[in-house]
Amino acid sequence: MFAQPIPFWTSDQVITYSELQKFRSSEYAHRSPALIQKVKTALLRFYNAPTKITAINALLELDEYALELSCFNSEWVDFSTVVFELAIIPSHASIPWMYTYLSNMLNLTLERITNGRRNL
């Protein structure tokens, strides 16, 4: 089953599932430290935003980084989904509340990954 080739929809390239998993793991190991730092920076920028426009821009930037992380490690999917929902669904929640919620989700995600419950 895992040796069955998977065609990329954007090219004629074909790889196996095992090769795809190896690529995801490799890319995550390579990219995640910088992306996690960018997530933390964007989250602080969101919290300290002087205007709502600045806060939305920081949230959209955070969404971009979270989505990229979730492409390489599925443990980030929940965090990415929460960021996306907060960015697109109108809310009356305050920025401090959203910051706390996002920070808790970030910490939970990092804890799951560091405690070995990796799901690459």
Residue with tokens 């390579």: 30
pLDDT of residue 72: 87
Report, as ranges of residue numbers, the positions in the chain whose pLDDT lies below 70: 1-15, 117-120
pLDDT in the model for residue 120: 45
| Tokens describing residue 19 | 């090769």
% of residues, the chain, pLDDT over 90: 57
pLDDT value for 8: 52
For the chain, domain boundaries: 32-114
The pTM of this model reads 0.79
What pLDDT was estimated at residue 47? 96
- Could you give the 3-state DSSP secondary structure of residue 16? strand
| pLDDT given for residue 27 in this prediction | 83
User: Contact at 8 Å (CB) between 115 and 19?
Assistant: no
Rounded Cα–Cα distance for residues 43 and 27 (Å): 23
Quick one: pLDDT at residue 71?
A: 86
Task: Tally helices (H) and strands (E) across the chain.
Answer: 4, 2
